[in-house]
């Protein structure tokens, strides 16, 4: 079965003015975009502003998006340009390294180490991190392997299927069950 860039249908809906469709694209990519921008703008508060601006720019530019690249690649370029423009506007020099504006993966390969994190905020986040860790540790081996191969190693379902010697459909199911189990564990933290 063919798998294409899974964003196309939502993009088409968003281009027709369906804001719910665009909202789903934001939900899908918000983590990536914020982390990307934090490679340029170190302050988290500022990075949130710039990330918001990038998404709004993308929304406004949607009519011009022709699908010649993947949606995320296009969004990635907007985010980088927005971050650079922000630095220029703030009369601040860019950070000491440069990401490839054409290659979304370059951000993943170039982890930016920050030193000025709020230590108090870490306590709050630690609860979430530990909950995820505990849920992960309690997963059956095949579920844990599947989701780690996907999330950490970045393997495709097909590659995971080869690695785990099982059908692609099984990989899909295992990854979903792993997410679902972890989701149930973190849900109380998010629904208090």
**Restricting to residues 105-144, which ones interact with another protein according to CB under 8 A?**
111, 113-115, 117-129, 132-133, 136
Residue 115 and residue 166 in contact, taking contact as beta carbons nearer than 8 Å: no
Among 73, 85, 106, 145, binds another protein (CB under 8 A): 85
What's the start-to-end Cα distance of the chain, in Å? Answer: 41
To another protein, the closest distance from the beta carbon of 44 in angstroms equals: 6
Comparing CB distances to another protein, the nearer of 81 and 102 is: 81
Among 41, 99, 107, 182, binds another protein (CB under 8 A): 182
Residue 135 and residue 182 in contact, taking contact as beta carbons nearer than 8 Å: yes
To another protein, the closest distance from the beta carbon of 165 in angstroms equals: 18
* Per-position x/- string for 4-23, each x denoting binding to another protein as judged by CB under 8 A, each - no binding: xxxxxxx--xxxxxxxxxxx
Based on the shown chain and the rule CB under 8 A, indicate whether residue 42 belongs to the binding site for another protein: no
Residue 37 and residue 51 in contact, taking contact as beta carbons nearer than 8 Å: yes
DSSP string, 75-100: HHHHHHHHHHHHHHHTT-PPPS----
């Amino acid at each position: 079965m063919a798998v294409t860039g899974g964003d196309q249908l939502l993009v088409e809906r968003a281009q027709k003015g369906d804001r719910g469709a665009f909202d789903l694209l934001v939900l899908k990519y918000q983590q990536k975009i914020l982390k990307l921008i934090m490679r340029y703008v170190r302050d988290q508060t500022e990075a949130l502003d710039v990330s918001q601006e990038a998404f709004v720019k993308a929304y406004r530019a949607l009519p011009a998006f022709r699908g010649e690249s993947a949606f995320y690649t296009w969004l990635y370029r907007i985010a980088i340009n927005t971050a650079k423009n922000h630095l220029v506007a703030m009369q601040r020099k860019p950070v000491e390294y440069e990401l490839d504006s054409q290659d979304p993966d370059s951000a993943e390969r170039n982890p930016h180490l920050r030193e000025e994190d709020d230590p108090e905020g870490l306590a709050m986040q630690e609860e979430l991190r530990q909950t995820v860790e505990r849920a992960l540790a309690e997963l059956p081996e095949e579920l844990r392997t599947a989701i780690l191969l996907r999330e950490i190693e970045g393997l495709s379902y097909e590659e995971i299927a080869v690695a785990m010697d099982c059908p692609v459909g099984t990989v899909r199911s295992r990854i979903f069950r792993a997410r679902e189990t972890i989701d149930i564990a973190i849900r109380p933290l998010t629904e208090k």
